[in-house]
Structure 1
Amino acid sequence: MISDVMASGTPAAEVDDEDFAAILQQTRQFVRTVVVPRENEIAEGDLVPDDIRTQAAEMGLFGYAIPQAWGGLGLNLAQDVELAMELGYTSLALRSMFGTNNGIAGQVLVNFGTDEQKSRWLASIASGETTASFALTEPGAGSNPAGLRTRAEQTADGDWIINGRKCFITNAPLAGLFVTFARTRPADADGPGIAVFLVPADTPGVQVGPKDKKMGQEGAWTSEVGFTDVRVPAAALVGGSEDVGYRAAMTSLARGRVHIAALAVGTAQRALDESVAYAATATQGGTAIGEFQLVQAMLADQQTGVSAGRALVRDAAAKWVSGQDRRLAPSVAKLFCTEMVGNVADLAVQVHGGSGYMREVPVERIYRDVRLLRLYEGTSEIQRLIIGGGLVRAAKKNATKPNHGG
């Protein structure tokens, strides 16, 4: 098990290459020998079976990106994306099950929580005992957190009262903790006025709606969450500051975009592999369809997209880890890779012909599953605005610098 690999050495801040290679190999084996054969079971039941969940928790997958000091594996983002490319090879419900713990919800605590908040929550998040949900999206504030309408007001005794409604919240029906974003005041010169709170799911006034019925990604549960006069103590304010929320959301989302890009590459690789296998064995008029040049052209386009996406993801992750670029590179990777996997999935259905439109054929499920990747963690349109706006701002900034040349 992965936990055994980690226990074999002295605990360290980072996972070395040898240990990570073992973690990656065990994850690949788990995905391909345990989860892939049960993909139809997951889809039909709209549920990841308990035994798969238990095995994932025992492997440490609920906390692979949580620091070792808090019971996680402590993978950095460069290692995270390698793992994500393996996890993307199967039903995306598997990764979704522990994605919020490692990603957008867990990283808020890792990067912005107080020592007391980390001590209270991170160990149980890393073990899978607690599922953490990232409660940001609202009916009127999707990709733009500045539009939040959920309110938090502080009482005379220091407690906070939260009122509002969230939607499309991943893992909400299973959550033990909601990492909840709320506006404490209108944006002003001091900051955006957005705070983030740690709200246990059993807090009075928290209402979790029925799980959403989605186009794809069966087994990955989302739902609405309501907050009606939800009272939490002052200690629930992440970082102890009202102005941490916006920065925490933007940082967690940017990191998550690199992860989602890697997930898309993993799914695209699966679609490509299914396409090649089908083309090599299915026949038309006694000839394997892979012998036809137009089919080969589709496979070539798929392979090109997967290869480019993999290189781009690794580049973006390296820039994140080094601190070179934590804004534009994540958006570039997410935009390209999530659009790419949509194209690869479409070609996979085309290669399969009529059979690719049939339920229980992997490429049919993949075609539906990957459509969501272009929407969450910021839509493709939002990524284009981030990239384009960032380039223009950088050019303007450079233009105003004094020229000391001769």
Structure 2
Amino acid sequence: MDWPTTPPIAPGFLELSEVLTALRAEAGDDISGRPSDGVLAALATTGVLRLPIATEYGGLGADWREANAVIAALARADASVAIIVFLHYAALSRIIAYGSDEQRKRLLMAVTRDDRIFASSWSEPGADAAKQNISTRATQRAEGGWELDGAKTFTTGAGVADLYLVLAQTGEGGAQGSYGRSNQGIFVVDSTQPGFVVDGLLDLSGMRRSATGLIKLSGYVAEAGDVLTHSRETPEAIGHPHTLGLTLGAVALGVAEEAHDTAVEVGRRRDLLESPLYRHHLFELGSQLAAVRGVVESATGALGDRTGPALTAKVFGSETAEAMCRTAQALAGSAAFSRGHALNRLAQDARALTLMGPPNYLCRELVAARVLKP
């Protein structure tokens, strides 16, 4: 019986083969903790970095459904790179929504013209998942602009990204939002400027090539034009990508597709596809994959604010993908639990997704709170 594999999903006008070939060639090579320069160059030359930017700024003008599709396709080959691209798109969505005309032109064209990569830097040691309590400070300068001081951890893309959206405290008090507070601001930080330091990468169990690490800001000067949001807009800006349907569930979809197809290939290599029991396991994996695909596609299909569907896709997708990876490992045998096995890498990546911000427990609270609102 012929068991077809699931093809990568991507918009027809974007050629991903160069990126996917580069990623496949580096599969399992996670010693450096980051993607190679060759992969980063491929993201630029194929147009992945400029995908959701409007054509007037030199982008490809894709919608957020297509952005999710590209993220899923990348995640099949390397979830770590898919996460970097997801966070890049999330940062672009905030610039598009909250930037001034001057900021949009300058920052979006930094991507389309100079291939610069964006990252977001919210998390800190001891800060809660909703980013209500952070210690990084932004102090207004008498001569204009702001001075940033503080340390961030779990910054994905550290040392890979060129520009960072940094969350910092701008004053005391402030109203609490779903994410962050109104006494916080989002600042565009350029990694080439004085006062910015990448302070090492973390040795993670999953997402090992995501360049997740620590950054330090010491006397970093952000000019007035580097302030993306200030005060009451900050909490809504943090959560803005979800309102569009952009979701980490897309990364989970790519992981789930790869786990499913790996299980099929294992069965083919071991002549197990004629076994009714093995086929039944594959049926279950296929039905779970279809469910993940459905929730991810529904995230951008919803009308209005898509936060609920986007967060639901993240929770359901990551947890289902993790379960699928464990099933595929059991089918493949004990070798699939070794550190270097592709299925073990996929399982660790899926587990990491459940913990990435907002972590799944917070996603559940945020969605439930929306349901309970009168």
Letter of the 1:363 partner, please give it.
L
Alignment of 1:348-387 (within 5 A): 348-387=328-367
1:217 aligns to what SS in structure 2?
coil
Partner of 2:67: 80
Partner of 1:155: 141
- 2:268 matched to 1:280? yes
User: What is the rounded CA distance, in whole Å, between the counterparts of 2:203 and 2:289 in structure 1?
Assistant: 30
Partner of 1:66: 53
- 2:35 matched to 1:35? no
Alignment of 1:241-252 (within 5 A): 241-252=230-241
CA offset at residue 374 of structure 1?
A: 0.7
RMSD, aligned α-carbons: 2.3
Partner of 1:347: 327
The answer (yes or no) to whether the contact 1:72–1:127 under 8 Å persists in 2 is: no
- 2:209 matched to 1:219? yes
The answer (yes or no) to whether the contact 2:182–2:233 under 8 Å persists in 1 is: no
Partner of 2:152: 166
- 2:218 matched to 1:231? no
CA offset at residue 180 of structure 1?
A: 1.0
Percentage identity across aligned positions? 22
CA offset at residue 120 of structure 1?
A: 2.1
Aligned residues: 361
Letter of the 2:279 partner, please give it.
Q
Letter of the 2:318 partner, please give it.
T
Partner of 2:126: 140
CA offset at residue 163 of structure 1?
A: 1.9
- 2:1 matched to 1:21? no
CA offset at residue 133 of structure 1?
A: 1.8
The answer (yes or no) to whether the contact 2:120–2:156 under 8 Å persists in 1 is: yes
User: What is the rounded CA distance, in whole Å, between the counterparts of 2:171 and 2:123 in structure 1?
Assistant: 18
The answer (yes or no) to whether the contact 2:253–2:289 under 8 Å persists in 1 is: yes
Residues 127 and 97 of structure 1, relative CA distance in 2, 3 Å threshold: farther
The answer (yes or no) to whether the contact 2:11–2:69 under 8 Å persists in 1 is: no
The answer (yes or no) to whether the contact 1:134–1:170 under 8 Å persists in 2 is: yes
- 2:32 matched to 1:49? no
- What do the CA deviations read for 1:178-226 (whole angstroms, capped 9, x no partner)? 2111121234469721211112123332222111111122322011112
Residues 298 and 95 of structure 1, relative CA distance in 2, 3 Å threshold: same
User: What is the rounded CA distance, in whole Å, between the counterparts of 2:18 and 2:190 in structure 1?
Assistant: 31
- 2:94 matched to 1:108? yes
Residues 189 and 373 of structure 1, relative CA distance in 2, 3 Å threshold: closer
Alignment of 1:252-267 (within 5 A): 252=241, 255=244, 258-267=246-255
Q: Which has the larger radius of gyration?
A: 1
TM-score, length basis structure 1 = 0.82
- What do the CA deviations read for 1:76-112 (whole angstroms, capped 9, x no partner)? 1111122222112111233244333222x22221111
Partner of 1:210: 200
CA offset at residue 310 of structure 1?
A: 0.6
Partner of 1:299: 282
- What do the CA deviations read for 1:118-145 (whole angstroms, capped 9, x no partner)? 2222112245632222011111224212
Q: Which runs of 5+ in 2 are unaligned?
A: 1-9
Residues 127 and 366 of structure 1, relative CA distance in 2, 3 Å threshold: farther
CA offset at residue 366 of structure 1?
A: 0.9
2:107 aligns to what SS in structure 1?
helix
User: What is the rounded CA distance, in whole Å, between the counterparts of 1:312 and 1:253 in structure 2?
Assistant: 14
Q: Which runs of 5+ in 1 are unaligned?
A: 1-18, 283-287, 398-406
Structure whose residues are more often helix by fraction: 1
